[in-house]
Amino acid sequence: MQSTFADQLAGLDLAGFTIGPPPVTSTDYPSTDAITQTLVGVWSDLFAMFVDTALEADAEDIGWGLVNLFHRAAQRKSSAVDRATDEVRALVATNDGSEVLTHDLETQIERAQCAEASMVALEEIREVAAGLFLNEFGSSWKPVSSSRFNHGAMLTSAVVQGRDFLRARSASKRKAAMPEGTPVVFAGGRNRFQTDEDAKTFASNVWATLDKVYGRVPDMVLIHGGDTKGVDRLAASWAERRGVVQLTFALDMRLGARAGFKRNEQMLSLDPRYIIAFPGNGVLERLVIDAKARRITVVDRRGPIGTCPKAVNQTPS
């Protein structure tokens, strides 16, 4: 679901019907303090158990799965809201003024309101667990093939799949899929380093560059490819720490060799303020060329260990 149930009702002709308050309130769900204290305790005990055992190598996968439990539960509630909304639309379309129809309509609305409240509560639990995942493993938690909407917090730390954004046609759906902000595209590939020190320096350069751009664009929406093994992972972790919304465009593997170039087109179609470019392949080079042709400012960090190539190539006069 990409818009609130109230937004969806606003688009329907409900004249003559009385829409009451939701039958549940926030006090019917666990408090934020209770959620945090419980998950922190469970998480700490669980992953302390894996230390120095054969399962330590699997800890990150187990942590991802634990967060995903709450994510999937929230998705099921979201689907329940959508089904109830469809039922409301059908009932309104066949409105004959009867008491039976009115009762059915009220029942569906209450069902949707309950499902939506549960969805928001489950998303809050997921977000707490995702924060623990970030602290434990140093990477941002993201679902495999869906968006990480956060309706209760106005998408402060959401991770939205690009295709969900592009499919959102109405203004209300687009607002829910991605809040207002200034798009900034981050791009780079998978890099290997000769030493651990080089890898740490590269990571520091990524964060420093993002912090610098964030200082210029405080309403940044970070757009990247969502690669969990490349430099995108560093950018995602930075965004999670800073509370910056992420919009990810995964490769559409059905397009074969065209997949990367198609993703470039999708990201540039959002008219980003900046393109932040770290070392990558030919697809990234094309992104930089196309961005410059559109007069989009490129923050070039394709030099050694994520530095500015102009600074490296500059020679004393």
Helix or strand (DSSP H, E) at 310: helix 309-313
Can you give the residue ranges of every domain in the chain? 5-140, 182-308
pLDDT at 221 over 50: yes
Minimum mean pLDDT range among 64-78, 167-181, 223-237: 167-181
Confidence category of residue 58, pLDDT binned at 50, 70, 90: very high
pLDDT at 241 over 80: yes
Q: So what's the pLDDT on residue 169? A: 36
Q: So what's the pLDDT on residue 70? A: 94
Confidence category of residue 217, pLDDT binned at 50, 70, 90: very high
Cβ atoms 268, 296 nearer than 8 A? yes
Alpha-carbon span 115 to 109, nearest angstrom: 10
One of 3.40.50.450, 2.60.40.10, 3.30.210.10, 3.40.50.150 is the CATH number of 182-308, namely 3.40.50.450
Three-class SS of 140-194: CCCCCCCCECCHHHCCCCCEEEHHHHHHCCCHHHHHHHCCCCEEEEEECCCCCCC
Alpha-carbon span 127 to 139, nearest angstrom: 14
Give CA 317 to chain center in angstroms: 48
Q: So what's the pLDDT on residue 25? A: 74
Range among 14-23, 117-126, 161-170 rated most confident = 117-126
All residues at 6 or more sequence positions from 281 whose CB lies less than 8 Å from its CB, including other chains = 189, 260
Q: So what's the pLDDT on residue 21? A: 54
pLDDT at 17 over 50: no
Alpha-carbon span 236 to 274, nearest angstrom: 17
Q: So what's the pLDDT on residue 228? A: 81
Q: So what's the pLDDT on residue 94? A: 72
